[in-house]
Structure 1
Amino acid sequence: MKMIVIADDFTGANDTGVQLAKKGARTDVMLTTGQMSSRRADVLVINTESRASAAHEAARAVTEALSSWRQLADMPILYKKIDSTFRGNVGAEIEAALRASGKGLALIAAAIPSAGRSTLNGECLVHQVPLAQTEFASDPRTPIVSSRIKTLLEQQSTLPIIEVPLAQIRAGALQRLLAEYARQAPVMVIADAVTEHDLSLIADAALAQPDLPLLVGAAGLASALPTSLYLKARQALPVLVLAGSMSEVTRAQVALALSSQRAEAVDIDVDQLLDGEKEVYNHQLIEQACAVLDRGQHCILRTSRSEADRYQIEKLCQRTQLSRAQLGERLSQRLGELTLAILDKTRIGGLFLTGGDIAIAVAQALGAQGYRIQQEVAPCIPCGCFINSELDDLPVITKAGGFGSESTLCDALSFIEEMYCDH
């Protein structure tokens, strides 16, 4: 996650989010503050649905929306989306976002030139008509009492508010002024803007600050932001393979992938994995797997290396006092938990699951509600995605242990790699 947008209504969340999405950002809009986003999202847009709320309730909603993020050492970029005609609890929500984020300066640029919204001499204009003289002044839910933005903000905030006229924006003075105003923190700064170029100058001045201000605006400012601010560099992410089958076919497929240097293996001692007390061992497995994946290399979690492993099952059953079925169920559950723990620490491009028990255990660990089949990698070997899971729509290939030729695993890895090349 590189950027969080806090909006006060659903359509506003969407009209700003689409400015980022159309430039390639994976943009998730949450309908409530408590929802979780996809692990793959570049931008998270949170709708507090607070435009018509009382000011103190709106402020609390913004604070709650940011509460789980402010603890992060590397907090995402914060963008407070406001209505371009300043309806709602704009002053209260900007102040709440400032305090919740710990930032000292809010840079406000609400203009959307393409929609006829501009800011000139500190006033909001709609198609060059002062806001108070437009139909927005008599909005049935959130009426407007003034065209001057500072006056509107002062209704709900006692923070200092500074206006920067258009001449200074175009003269390139904003970068220096923001550095000066930051010493007065906390403070709100209103920037004039009439054209798209004005918004680009404002964005450039903000990004040049040592501490990026709280960015406040509508679709216009969002569109002016450089993609490097919120877009993760696209790369072919590695595949995590769970080879939990003792089938000779699966072992041969894994062996070919390793000998051809298509992947690296992390071998699992099943005896230690089944011992729930050995958290140190689990941690070691997670770290080993993440180290491989972080290098961009496909990683195979392997539970069986030779035919001899089949003959250890009875000993494991005796030691654990479990039947073969119960043993298989516990092992699959541990592998599912291990997979989830790995996904919490690194990013992957897809999953390859071999063995029915393993596949269903991983699906359950990821909270999946189903599997959506999309393509066939090889005869009887589908590629799809888990429905409503922690993996969102990442490709997941499943394979019965005894299915496939020796090259099937290598072919599956190439299949997912080509999916990235196509996008």
Structure 2
Amino acid sequence: MKPQIAIIADDLTGAGDSAVQFVRCGWETQLYVGGSEEAFALGDMQAQVVSVNSNSRALAPQAAADAVAREMQTFRKHDVRHVFKKVDSTLRGAFAAEIEAARQQWHADAIAVVCPAYPATGRTLEHGILLVNGIPVTDTSAGTDPVTPVTESSVPTILNCNLVSPTQDDTPATLAQKIGGAGAIVVVDARTDADLKLLAQAIVLLGERALPVGAGGLAMAMAAAWASDHIAGDIVLAVVTSQHSATRAQVAALQEQGATVQTPEPQVLADDALWQSWQQEMLEQVSGSDMASRILVLLAPARQVPGLTSATVARRLGQLALTIAGTGKVRGLIATGGDGAEQVMMALQATGIRLIDEVSGGVPLGTLIGGNYTGMPIVTKAGGFGSEHVLIQAAETLMERKFK
């Protein structure tokens, strides 16, 4: 297997904490103690992502740059598609020298997009200043590090480059445009995980010439963005038959996030002709270019009419899920309610689920076994399980994780 992505860090623990973000997003990932030349020479590489260590944290700038350049040359020789340059989240080491060396060795028109923010650990980048729990990094222990003390908190100052500060109105496309016009090295502000997610999506739009540079926070966002870029299908399809109030609240929260929720009237579900007409309308909506959302929820009605059983509702929605899956636009499924999940599985002729992980406690994630849709990702959830945002988590997982 030839790796698609390489991670290069300046020490072993950095190589590890970035690599694990890719594991969490479903990438086959291997961490090597030594450098890339040794990793590729071993001949046992079975990874989509390889993470190596240039062991350059304590080196002088030129020596560190030379070490990074050697690693990048190996990556180019082995046709690695993307590189993530891991740097210390408190700017220690030969920060500027390593970034420039990596950029020069990547592509002739490479753009190093730099954001060492890691909100989960208190690191944010605001107006170009790296803050640790709200304090400039030079005023923390990093400023008195005995080996590599940090003497400047402004990342654009260290790199002598431009700063891009995203606005609330920015989309991945507009942010990519700003970054693309800001120079060969660009620093981008980020205060939250959502900021990093937007940045990662912009980096994907910049293409293979983009060289993301950051810490574990940006590694996590890039792992998801690159995984999403490799997944076939545009739509996460949820089939919800549970009448539990918790599930209904979860659907409402998902709808607030922009999901399209379609609920057939009970009389439509009870009548064959009306159902066929409604099903055709849904299929045209999914097949057309005017699909309003990347998440489509088929929600069983809360009320019933005489002669309409819950089993009929589940069977109808399961068959509709099969029809929609047949368009080739479905990248993953969510099935909420035991009867609905069973009918979806039966309609797709799946014999089981290869379990991979949990979206949250009691909400398993896996891929279908058997039938024509073997390997399609699926999340199943009992009616009363999960927080109000669990369906949002499930949809994001299906959109941002890589599956075999």
Query: Given the two structures, how large is their TM-score scaled by the length of structure 2?
Result: 0.52
Identity %: 33
2:38 alignment partner, one of 15, 20, 35:
35
CA contact (8 A) 1:118 1:125 kept: yes
Ranges in structure 1 where 5+ consecutive residues have no aligned partner? 155-160, 235-422
Two-structure CA RMSD over aligned residues (Å): 2.6
7 and 210 in structure 1: CA distance in 2 versus 1, 3 angstrom threshold = closer
CA contact (8 A) 2:115 2:187 kept: yes
Within 5 A, what are the aligned runs for 1:4-403?
Answer: 4-33=6-35, 34-37=37-40, 38-72=44-78, 74-102=79-107, 103-154=109-160, 161-165=161-165, 168-172=166-170, 175-176=173-174, 178-179=176-177, 182=180, 187-227=184-224, 229=226
Ranges in structure 2 where 5+ consecutive residues have no aligned partner? 233-403
Q: Secondary structure at the match of 1:68?
A: helix
182 and 65 in structure 1: CA distance in 2 versus 1, 3 angstrom threshold = same
Cα distance in 2 for residues equivalent to 1:23 and 1:178: 23
CA contact (8 A) 1:13 1:81 kept: yes
CA contact (8 A) 2:6 2:80 kept: no
32 and 163 in structure 1: CA distance in 2 versus 1, 3 angstrom threshold = same
Q: Secondary structure at the match of 1:142?
A: coil
CA drift of 1:39 comes to 2.9
CA drift of 1:146 comes to 1.5
| Deviating 4+ runs (over 3 angstroms) | 173-185, 230-234
169 and 48 in structure 1: CA distance in 2 versus 1, 3 angstrom threshold = farther
CA contact (8 A) 1:119 1:193 kept: yes
Amino acid at match of 1:55: P
Amino acid at match of 1:94: I
CA drift of 1:151 comes to 2.1
CA drift of 1:28 comes to 1.4
228 and 221 in structure 1: CA distance in 2 versus 1, 3 angstrom threshold = closer
Which region of structure 1 is more displaced relative to structure 2, 176-185 or 133-142? 176-185
119 and 35 in structure 1: CA distance in 2 versus 1, 3 angstrom threshold = same
Query: Given the two structures, how large is their TM-score scaled by the length of structure 1?
Result: 0.50
Cα distance in 1 for residues equivalent to 2:159 and 2:58: 16
Amino acid at match of 2:105: A
Amino acid at match of 1:140: P
Q: Secondary structure at the match of 1:78?
A: strand
Aligned length: 227
CA drift of 1:164 comes to 1.1
